[in-house]
């Protein structure tokens, strides 16, 4: 058997690519063996694979990629994690507006999430008061973003996304860098919200422009930064299909 893996995004992207690729490989092998995994099984096996590879992380990345559309993921406390997936129903108009205003830009900087996560988890396990408070605020922010998306309020969603990014930087100062801040300075005035997905420290910038016209200006500004950079803009849209395994 020969297994070939391809990803159209750079290594260290912050988009959960390692977890999504891991889930895809496990789903393909399960199909090959005639034993398709349930979503819970696939999530747990992918988390185990991540631990064996020492890449850190949890269950959020693979579920984010495997399950289509916008969703919020919740789980109870405890060593056995069985995340519940709640789809977020977005109106056609709000989905179109989000697609029009959303920009995904690769900073050209790779980073290993495990390094940042180790510091954050260390603070949390030590019950650092600020860290515990921030974790609770991040959870509250996720619930607000769910409500804002469901209500079609993209402006409020973008503002809460920006708050999320501020909190992540308080968790770990390495979440942003002078180079990233310089990139943001070039377009910040055209944005309603932004963050670095994942642990931060490099990878992709997720930008929500003030409106479709501002998004066009942001794209032009980023594209004009120069062809000699490893950084570049990617297309972005809400995935409506999720994981697909085909036999050909």
| pLDDT tens figures, 43-91 | 999 988 988 887 766 788 899 999 999 999 999 888 888 899 999 999 9
pLDDT at 113 > cutoff 70? no
Least confident of 87-91, 123-127, 142-146: 123-127
Q: Classify 207 in phi/psi space as left (phi over 0), alpha (psi -120 to 50) or beta.
A: beta
- Enumerate the H helices of the chain as residue ranges: 17-32, 39-53, 60-66, 92-101, 113-125, 129-150, 154-171, 178-185, 212-223
Residue 2 CB contacts under 8 Å (≥ 6 apart), including other chains = none
**pTM, to two decimals:** 0.88
Strands 84-87 and 204-209: unpaired
Dist. CA 124–CA 104, nearest whole Å? 30
**Average pLDDT over all residues of the chain:** 89
Higher local confidence (pLDDT), 194 or 248: 194
Dist. CA 170–CA 173, nearest whole Å? 6
The segment with the largest mean pLDDT, out of 36-50, 133-147, 167-181, 221-235, is: 133-147
Dist. CA 92–CA 67, nearest whole Å? 19
Q: Is 242 helix (H, G, I), strand (E, B) or coil?
A: coil
Contact 177, 202 (CB under 8 A): yes
pLDDT at 114: 63
| pLDDT tens figures, 174-199 | 788 888 898 899 999 999 999 998 76
Fold of 92-234: Alpha-Beta Plaits (3.30.70)
Phi, psi of 116, deg, nearest 5:
-70, -40
Q: Could you tell me the two tokens for 202?
A: 């490099």
Number of residues written out for the chain: 248
pLDDT at 120: 82
Count of CB atoms situated within 10 Å of the CB of 246: 6
What residues does each domain of the chain span?
Answer: 17-87, 92-234
- Candidates 158, 121, 160; CA nearest to 140 is 160
Count of CB atoms situated within 10 Å of the CB of 185: 9
User: Which DSSP letter does residue 37 get?
Assistant: P
Average pLDDT over residues 142-151: 97
Dist. CA 51–CA 72, nearest whole Å? 23
Contact 45, 25 (CB under 8 A): no
């Amino acid at each position: 058997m020969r297994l070939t893996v391809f990803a159209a995004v750079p290594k260290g992207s912050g988009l959960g690519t390692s977890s999504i690729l891991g889930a895809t490989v496990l789903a393909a092998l399960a199909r090959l063996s005639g034993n398709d995994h349930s979503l819970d099984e696939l999530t747990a096996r992918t988390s185990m694979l991540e631990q064996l590879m020492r890449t850190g992380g949890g269950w959020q990345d693979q579920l984010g990629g495997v399950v289509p559309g916008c969703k919020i993921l919740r789980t109870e406390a405890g060593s056995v994690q069985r995340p519940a997936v709640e789809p977020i129903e977005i109106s056609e108009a709000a989905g179109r507006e989000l697609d029009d205003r959303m920009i995904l830009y690769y900073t050209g900087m790779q980073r290993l999430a495990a390094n940042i996560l180790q510091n954050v988890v260390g603070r949390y396990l030590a019950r650092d008061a600020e860290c515990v408070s921030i974790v609770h605020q991040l959870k509250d922010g996720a619930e607000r973003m769910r409500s804002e998306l469901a209500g079609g309020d993209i402006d409020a969603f973008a503002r809460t996304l920006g708050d999320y990014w501020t909190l992540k930087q308080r968790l770990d100062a390495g979440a942003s860098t002078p180079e990233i801040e310089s990139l943001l300075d070039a377009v910040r005035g055209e944005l309603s919200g932004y963050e670095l997905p994942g642990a931060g420290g490099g990878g992709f910038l997720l930008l929500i422009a003030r409106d479709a016209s501002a998004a066009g200006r942001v794209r032009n500004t980023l594209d004009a930064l120069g062809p000699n950079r490893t950084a570049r803009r990617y297309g972005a849209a809400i995935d409506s299909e999720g994981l697909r395994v085909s036999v050909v």
